[in-house]
Amino acid sequence: MPLSPPLPAPSGKPRVQRTPHPDELAGREVLLLGLGAFGGGAGCARALARRGARLTITDLRPEEQLSESIQELEGIEYRPAFGGHSPELFERAEVVVVNPAVPQGASWLQVARDQGCQLTTQVNLALRLAAQVPAVAITGTHGKSSTASLLHHLLRSLPGRTVLSGNVGGSLLEAVEGLTPQDRLIVELSSFQLERLDAPQGWPQVALFTCLRPDHLDRHGDMEHYAAAKRRLLEFQNEQGLALFPRDEASLDAFAAAARGRVERWGSGDLNLARWGADEADLPWHEDYRLPSLLLAARAAQEFGLPESELGAAMRGFRGLPHRLEELPAPAGFRFIDNGIATHPEPTQAAIESLLPQTAALSVLVGGYDKGLPLLDLPASLARCQQVHLFGAGGERIAAALPSSSTSVRIHANCADAVHAALAELPAAGGTLLFSPSFASFDEFRNFRDRARLFQDFCARFAGSGKKSPGDAAAGTY
């Protein structure tokens, strides 16, 4: 494919304002700005190398902190520049592929612009490569991954391939390679990915929003800019596109009003199991607050050709994602629930209100890095639990906000101490232990998954220890 006509740039380099097709990168100097530690950057690098880009990879972190990602680059040609960026990198580069973790105001982005570099992202490149593939894009403050995974499960029963990628994990640019118009693409997008979105006109065919709450304000500055990033998902749709919203999410009213295509809003009152050929047992989620996401996924599946009458059968066997109200093995009379995905007070509050009618003894683990998000009614919900174990700066903030009640409240030095104590102090008669931190994990862990795995490891040792009472558990390690 021929390169687009060059335009003059301050450095004398060709500059193309639009996102190039990945096949246009053959022989061009491409700088991957931010390799990252979770595999998506490495996959992007492999895809760029396969298309003949002259690739340089830079990251502020030193090589030893990127060892796993660097191992994934084995077999491709690239120039490494780890441990910091230098102006020379941008003098050479024609195209800079920016990692989502790089904030909009990063000084190196201005250096790239001053050097006449073309800025783009892995998401934008992938969407050019998959421009003819029917797609649904999913975003929201929380519930994105669960909704996307359910939709992926539903669409797997249709002919052709259904690919799920984006913020859910992996490399989107690698994931779309080889897709055809007979396949389907589900893309989960974060605000970090959306703020630089440059999609083909008419993309996506379906835009699905789960909710909008204050989050990532340390990155976006305020709620207005955070919402603007999310709203970019609608800016490329046309009149044929479908935008799906929860019915009772007033925070998304302005989004629905701004949509250019069809708009539908769904709520828990729209659930009709008979029309789905389903019964209660077929539903993967039964909590009221999760039903709107289930309905939105079902509606998106119908837009892609799954008959309404087959929704019940298609849902069977879906078990959800790890760390999303995941029920763990536990001794008889106990329930251990990993809701480690909860890095915001609202999902914890909703989980507590859902679990309280099911148990006489609910213990909850809450805490972590405090980003200053509104606590909402979480303190009042925690005050209705039997035990609350707190850790980190978030735990201290919760402790100061808790109303007076009979709840047993303990503050711990760190997450591990809190989990150990919570297990040791479970009522002898049984009960439910909910791990739903409500705050970010960065004070102690790389990410929420590492923190949730700690909880799972403790629970596995407790469940396998043969200890049946708090006294037994307190007597030793497990």
Distance CA 324, CA 347 (A): 10
Contact 309, 293 (CB under 8 A): no
Q: Which pTM was predicted?
A: 0.86
Predicted confidence (pLDDT) at residue 253 exceeds the cutoff of 50: yes
pLDDT tens digit string along 202-227? 999 999 999 999 999 999 999 999 99
Instruction: Give 26-29's long-range contacts (Cβ < 8 A, gap of 24+).
Output: 26/51, 26/52, 26/53, 27/52, 27/53, 27/54, 28/3, 28/53, 28/54, 28/94, 28/95, 29/53, 29/54, 29/56, 29/92, 29/93, 29/94, 29/95
Give residue-wise pLDDT tens across range 382-391: 999 999 999 9
Distance of CA 402 to the CA centre of its chain: 29
Sheet with 242-246: list strands edge to edge: 162-166, 184-188, 135-139, 206-209, 242-246, 262-266
Confidence of residue 6 (pLDDT cuts 50, 70, 90): very low
| Order of strands across the sheet that contains 387-391 | 326-328, 334-338, 431-438, 362-367, 387-391, 408-412
CA proximity to 326, closest of 448, 421, 472: 448
For 147-163, the DSSP string reads HHHHHHHHHTTSSS-EE
The pLDDT tens digits of the residues spanning 222-242 come to 999 999 999 999 999 999 999
Domains defined for the chain, CATH in brackets: 22-120 (3.40.50.720), 124-315 (3.40.1190.10), 326-474 (3.90.190.20)
